[in-house]
Structure formats: C-alpha cells, structure tokens
C-alpha cells in the first residue's frame, strides 16, 4: 500500500513537472481569459477596445507567475488602430483560486509604427506636456517599442518600462531648431529615460554618436553627450547663434571644420520651466579659414588683415547659469604668411563681466610712431593681455609686449564707453633700434601724472601731434604733470639733454607748460604755454636754438639747415593765429625750391645743388587756422640771393593747396633800394629794360598733384616794396 501511494505521488509529481514544463515552454491555448482581460482593460480606459485572439497560457518559473500571451491582437484607441504584435498579461498565481484573478503586469510589443498614425490616436488623449510635444514638435518618423506595465491592487499602473527605437524622425524646437534622427535606441521607466546609439543632425550639424539620460523625480534632469564632426560656414553659424544681427564677424566668409564632443545637463521643473543648465564643448579645428569682407585696418599694422587661417586649434566652451567660458588654443597665420604662430584666448562671462585673456606670438610687422618703434616680420613678438569689459567700458588689467630686449607694458587701465582713459597705474617702455636703446621711461598715474626716464625717441612726435583727430582719449584726465628725460632723440643728429617740463592738463589737454632743455653747442629749447586771463585763449611760445628738429616732418621746410626758430600761437578749441620765424638758415637739396627757381630761370638751382646751399636771413610765416581751412596770410623769406613773398590757403579736409606769390633776385632788390629817392624811376626805370625784374607764380592742387605756373614781372606791388624796406632797415640797425 505504501508503495502504491508513493508511486501515485511520484506519478502526480511527474505529471505536474511535465505540465509545468509544457506551460513554461509551449503553453496552452485557450479563449477562457479573453473576456476577463478585455473587461479589465476597458474598466481602466473606456475608449480602449481590445479584441483578443486565442490566448496562450504559460508559466513564468522565475517569478512563479502565470502569464497569458496573444499574437497580433486587434486593439483600437478612439477608433485608431494600434499595431501591436504581441500582448502578454501576467496574473497573480494565488488569485487564480479566487473569484477575481488579479493582473500583476502586462507586456506589449509593437510593430514598427508610423508616428503620423500614432498622432491620430494621441489626439484624443487628455492634455499633457507629452501630448503637446508629440502633436506640435514631432513631424514624422517611425518607432518600435516594448512596453512593460506593472499594476497595483486596483489595476492602477504602479511602474512601467518602455524600450525601443526611433528612426528617420524629424523634430522641431521653438519653430527654429530642426533635429533629424536617423536612429536612436531608448529605454525608460518611472524614474529614468536612457537614449543611446544616437545618429542624425541638429540644424545640419551631424551627430555621429550620442547618448542622453533623463531622470524623472521631483524635477526633470536631462544630461548627455553628443559627438559631432561638422563643417561650419557663416550661414550655419547665423542659424546656430541667436540674436546675431549685431555680430559683424558672421558677415565674413567662414570655413571651419570642427570635430567636437558636446556634453549638456538641463534641469526642468515639473511644468517644464528651465531651472538650471550647463553645456560644454571640447573640440578641434583641424583647418579653418576666415576671409574678411572688409579688411581690418589699423594705424599700427603695416599691412591690412584680409585673411585669418587656423590649424590644429583646440576649442573648449562652458555655458551654465552663472558663467560662460570659451577657450581657444592653437595655431594661426594672417594673410599669405607661410608660417603659423601659436595663440591662446580665454573669454569668460560672469556676473555681466567679460574677462578676456590673450597670449600669442606675433609675426606681423607693425609700428608705434609715437615712440619710433618698428617691428619687422623677421622678428617674433609676444603679447599677453588680461582685459575686463564692464558696463560698456574696458579695464586693462595688464598688457605686456616683448620682442628681444624690447618691452612695453600697460597696467590697471580703466577706459569708459567713449574709449577715454579714466585712470591707470603705470606704463613702462623700453625699446631698441639696431641694438641701441632709444626708449627707456615710465609713466605713473598718481596725485600727479609723472613721466620720467633715461631716454625718449621723439623722431615722430611732431608728425603725431599734427595728425588732426576729433577723439581726445585723455578727456577724463585732470592732473598736474611732471616730465623729465635725460635724453630726447630726434631725427636731427643732435639730441636734447636734461629735458624738464612742468605743466597742467585739464580735460586731457595742456593748459599750462613751462619747459627747458639743452642741445649741445650752447643751444637750448624753451616751451611755454599759458592762458590769457582776458580772453581765456591759450598762448604757446616755442624757442629752439636749432630749427631743424621741429621742422623735419614738414615737407615745406625740407632741406633747411641751421637757423633759430621762434613760434608763437594764440588759440582756443575753434581757431588759432600763429607766427613762425626762422633766422640765419640755409636751404640744401630742397626739390620744391629748386623747381620754383628753375621755372623762374634764376641761378638758385645750381646753388642748391652745390655744397654751400641757398642762404636766408629770415623766414616769417603768419597763418590762421579754423576747423575747415588754414589761411596763410604771409610767407616772407629774404636772403642775400633772393626774396620771396607768398600767401594762400590749405583746405583741412581735402588737402587742396593754393599759393601765389612774388620772387625777386637780390640784385633787383638792391637796385630798387638804391633808387628810393625817385619813386617813378623805381617802377619804370630811366632806360628801356631797367625796370625791376622778377617772377610771379601760382601753386595749386591736391597733395602730390600741385601745379606751378610762373610769369615774369616788370613791376612790384607796394606790399612787396614795403616788406623789402622793412627788412633792409632792421638789418642796418642790427649792424
């Protein structure tokens, strides 16, 4: 009996094992549960209609659950067909012995779905962010998904997991940003969404690989990484950069090849309000070229910049709620230069302040005329700059330039929105020409503006002072000024020694100067500037024991040697009246004088070309200036060989010059003076041919195209006679 019972139990156990294995592998087909499943689903969603074919009953041995599955069920939602390939329902095993079995979870496998068909079904679901995004932002595409839903006691969804893929999908953000998805895989549950194997493009920028993670808790956190290789031009950049209307850079011809890794992190509230964000880009520009539509011109650079080339240049970009940092480091060259030079730029935006750090090697030639420094293309200069942009102004924390032994540094500058200097700490300058030091000084901004040093090269100072400009970048400066140099170098062979100046600047302009310095040979330079207390105009007086250092930059005085100079001027911001006198000088190798004398058929050219030169006792120029024209009231030159009297004007804007005058050889002047008692004989002469002989001339034209016409004269104007007699009397008195 015991053996029979044991055998029966073994048989039953065997049958159960076989039955279990049968249910776990092949399963049992039945339609018994069709109505139960349909009713349970329709209780939860009335608009969801489920028509099941035969159901296969199987056992999940791992979870000890009974599950029911069916192939290709007919499921509609708001009469829209849902292409589901397999539908499985997991039942609580113990609940099978109760009146109402409980569904623990379902597994839904879809066929590949066209998004346009899915949007038809989604149009009827209740409003939500998902529905709005689906209907308004996703334009086309296909997807496939596996949906795993877990239910609670009352058939409410307690958890879910969805996985699948999208392909050939178009998404539009903010009606501007177009995303084309060739392929991506995704998996999502109640707390997280993972996207990987992403391939496609964003507004034409290709995505070679990418992954995204979305954490769904109290907030929505989206983070990810995207790899991209992209060829950028000005059109693509204009689309990518918002509010680019004022970016002149994007109006140039741009060709950049960028290989980059992009990482991002976005935090949204449950209403999809952006709370935090960060974005980083790490990339390489293998080759890049920017052709400027309008060449960059600078008074310092010898050549205009037309092209910028980049090579093996690394880019790092960080953007978040608090700061914006761009770092670019690599190699560049300008125009058609053969060699690339290194550079590094870091731009940081934080709390509305832009900090810019620049470090680069510079091959391009440039000139700083004010200190007579010239950098040639065969020497490499190094520039380091630390700048800040605050409230439309600029703070120059430091700029340092090095080239060989030469050094120029600027420290702690504050410049307002009108490019006017408010204050600074100091400027240091030390430069060399052909291995010889020509500048070594420092400028200090304290209670007084102090300029002091061993040497200063003023070769181009006069030329820079006479460059007319409306901008006064020192307008914010009001200081007492002290200047002292041991040596000041000029274009003249003789330098100035022991230069000292005390003065005062108001609104960036000198209102008071008292200066004295020495040439060799007991000659000196005196400069004084003061205000006329009655008219509030300024009075400038300059005396120089040598005239040439102050005249060398003026073409009119080219060839002048020796002489003493006295210049006086009374002026304000609108006009000036000036007088220039030069005494006891010679003119050597002066093309303008030689041409004029040759046209007059006088002996001057031969004298000018000889080593002796053409001597003059006095040259006096009286002129007035206003904002439109320089009026030359008189140019009077008298010497042993010739006397000249001129007048005319020069237009400030066009440079048009118009002069007319009279030129008479000295022998004619002497003959004139010898006949003073008989005025009639002076003008007509006692004999035929004895009248005073000379030439009248006119000079007119724009710069470089002045035409000269000469006519012989037989009589002189009363003004010419008066001026000749005045000079003759002064000469007699001095003797």
Exposure letters 186-204 (e unless 16+ CB within 10 A, then b)? bebeeeebebeebbbbbee
pTM for this predicted structure: 0.71
Q: Which two tokens stand for residue 509?
A: 């302009």
Helix axes 666-674, 718-734, angle to 10 degrees: 90
Give, in degrees to the nearest 5, the angle at Cα 536 between 534 and 539.
100
Per-residue pLDDT of 189-220, as tens digits, reads 888 888 888 888 876 677 888 888 888 777 78
Q: Classify residue 670: in a domain, yes or no.
A: yes
Q: Classify residue 682: in a domain, yes or no.
A: yes
3 state SS of 552: coil
Radius of gyration of the chain (CA): 47
Per-residue pLDDT of 409-420, as tens digits, reads 999 998 888 888
Q: Classify residue 345: in a domain, yes or no.
A: no
Residue with the larger pLDDT of the pair 63 and 625: 625
Q: Classify residue 227: in a domain, yes or no.
A: no
Out of 125, 160, 195, a domain closes at 160
Q: Classify residue 185: in a domain, yes or no.
A: no
Exposure letters 669-696 (e unless 16+ CB within 10 A, then b)? bebbeebeeeeeebbebeeeeebbbbbb
Say how far apart CA 153 and CA 123 lie, in whole Å. 30
Q: Residue 102 belongs to what domain range?
A: 23-114+142-160
pLDDT above 70 covers what percent of the chain? Answer: 71
Cα–chain center distance at 698: 49
Helix (H) or strand (E) holding 69: strand 65-71
* Contact yes or no for 228/205 (Cβ under 8 A): yes
Q: Which two tokens stand for residue 177?
A: 């940003």
Nearest Cα to Cα of residue 633 among 620, 643, 644, 647: 647
Q: Classify residue 411: in a domain, yes or no.
A: no
Say how far apart CA 671 and CA 662 lie, in whole Å. 17
Nearest Cα to Cα of residue 440 among 486, 377, 496, 490: 486
Say how far apart CA 511 and CA 537 lie, in whole Å. 10
* Contact yes or no for 512/532 (Cβ under 8 A): no
Per-residue pLDDT of 43-96, as tens digits, reads 666 666 666 666 666 666 566 566 666 777 776 666 666 777 777 777 665 555
Q: Classify residue 611: in a domain, yes or no.
A: no
Confidence of residue 112 (pLDDT cuts 50, 70, 90): confident
Confidence of residue 680 (pLDDT cuts 50, 70, 90): very low
Burial of residue 622, with CB atoms counted within 10 A of its CB: 0-12 exposed, 13-18 middle, 19 or more buried = middle
CA distances from residue 577 to 554, 605, 636, 701 in whole angstroms, order as listed: 19, 34, 17, 24
Per-residue pLDDT of 472-524, as tens digits, reads 778 888 999 999 999 998 877 678 899 999 999 988 888 899 999 998 778 88
Q: Classify residue 363: in a domain, yes or no.
A: no
pLDDT exceeds cutoff 90 at 130: no
Residues 665-680, mean pLDDT to the nearest whole number: 49
User: Hey, CA dihedral for 173, 178, 179, 182, is it positive or negative?
Assistant: positive
Work out how many domains the chain is built from and give that number: 2
């Amino acid at each position: 009996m015991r053996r029979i019972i044991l055998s029966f139990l073994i048989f039953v156990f065997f049958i159960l094992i076989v039955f279990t294995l049968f249910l776990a592998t092949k399963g049992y087909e039945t339609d018994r549960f069709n109505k139960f499943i349909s009713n349970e689903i329709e209780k939860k969603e009335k608009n969801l209609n489920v028509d099941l074919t035969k159901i296969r009953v199987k056992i999940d041995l791992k979870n000890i659950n009974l599950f029911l599955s069916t192939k290709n069920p007919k499921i509609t939602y708001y009469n829209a067909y849902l292409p589901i390939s397999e539908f499985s329902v997991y039942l609580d095993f113990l609940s099978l012995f109760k009146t109402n079995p409980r569904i623990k979870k379902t597994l839904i496998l879809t066929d590949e779905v066209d998004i346009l068909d899915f949007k038809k079904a989604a149009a009827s679901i209740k409003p939500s962010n998902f529905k709005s995004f689906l209907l308004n932002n996703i334009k086309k595409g296909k997807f496939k998904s596996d949906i795993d839903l877990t239910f609670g006691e009352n058939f409410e969804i307690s958890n879910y997991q969805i996985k699948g893929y999208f392909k050939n999908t178009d998404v539009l953000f903010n009606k501007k940003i177009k995303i084309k998805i060739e392929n991506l895989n995704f998996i999502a549950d109640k707390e997280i969404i993972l996207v990987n194997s992403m391939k496609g493009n964003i507004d034409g920028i290709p995505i070679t690989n990418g992954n995204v993670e979305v954490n769904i808790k109290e907030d929505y956190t989206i983070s990810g990484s995207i790899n991209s290789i992209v060829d950028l031009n000005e059109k693509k950049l204009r689309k990518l950069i918002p509010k680019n209307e004022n970016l002149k850079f994007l109006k140039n011809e741009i060709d950049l090849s960028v290989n980059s890794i992009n990482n991002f992190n976005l935090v949204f509230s449950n209403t999809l309000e952006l709370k935090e964000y960060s974005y980083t880009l790490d990339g390489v520009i293998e080759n890049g070229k920017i052709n400027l539509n309008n060449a960059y011109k600078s008074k310092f650079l010898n050549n205009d910049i037309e092209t910028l080339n980049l090579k093996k240049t690394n880019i790092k970009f960080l953007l978040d709620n608090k700061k914006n940092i761009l770092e670019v480091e690599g190699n560049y060259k300008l125009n058609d230069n053969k060699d690339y030079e290194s550079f590094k730029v870091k731009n940081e935006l934080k709390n509305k302040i832009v900090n810019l750090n620049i470090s680069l090697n510079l091959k391009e030639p440039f000139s700083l005329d004010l200190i007579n420094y010239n950098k040639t293309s065969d020497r490499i200069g190094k520039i380091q700059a630390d700048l800040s942009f605050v409230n439309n102004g600029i703070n120059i924390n430091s700029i340092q330039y090095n080239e060989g032994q030469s050094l120029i540094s600027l420290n702690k500058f504050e410049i307002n929105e009108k490019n006017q200097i408010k204050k600074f700490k100091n400027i240091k300058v030390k430069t060399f020409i052909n291995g010889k030091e020509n500048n070594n000084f420092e400028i200090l901004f304290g209670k007084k503006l102090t300029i002091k040093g061993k040497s200063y090269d003023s070769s181009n100072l006069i030329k820079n002072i006479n460059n007319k400009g409306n901008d006064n970048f020192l307008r914010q400066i009001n200081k007492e000024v002290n200047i002292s140099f041991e040596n000041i170098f000029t274009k003249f062979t003789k330098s100035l020694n022991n230069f000292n100046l005390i003065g005062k600047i108001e609104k960036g302009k000198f209102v008071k100067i008292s200066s004295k310095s020495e040439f060799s040979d007991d000659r000196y330079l005196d400069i004084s500037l003061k205000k006329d207390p009655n008219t509030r105009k300024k009075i400038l007086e300059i005396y120089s024991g040598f005239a040439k250092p102050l005249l060398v930059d003026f073409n009119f005085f080219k060839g002048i040697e020796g002489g003493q100079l006295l210049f006086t001027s009374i002026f304000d911001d609108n006009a000036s009246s000036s007088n220039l006198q030069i005494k006891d000088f010679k003119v050597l190798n002066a093309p303008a004088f030689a041409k004029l004398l040759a046209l007059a058929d006088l002996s001057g050219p031969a004298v000018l070309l000889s080593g002796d030169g053409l001597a003059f006792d006095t040259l006096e120029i009286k002129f007035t200036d206003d904002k439109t024209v320089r009026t030359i009231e008189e140019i009077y030159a008298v010497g042993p060989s010739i006397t000249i009297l001129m007048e005319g004007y020069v237009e400030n804007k066009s440079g048009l010059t118009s002069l007319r005058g009279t030129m008479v050889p000295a022998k004619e002047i002497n003959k004139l003076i010898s006949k003073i008692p008989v005025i009639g004989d002076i003008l007509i002469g006692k004999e035929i041919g004895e009248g005073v002989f000379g030439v009248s001339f006119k000079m007119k034209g724009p710069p470089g195209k002045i035409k000269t016409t000469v006519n012989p004269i037989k009589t002189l104007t009363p003004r010419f006679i008066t001026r000749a007699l005045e000079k003759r009397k002064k000469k007699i008195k001095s003797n």
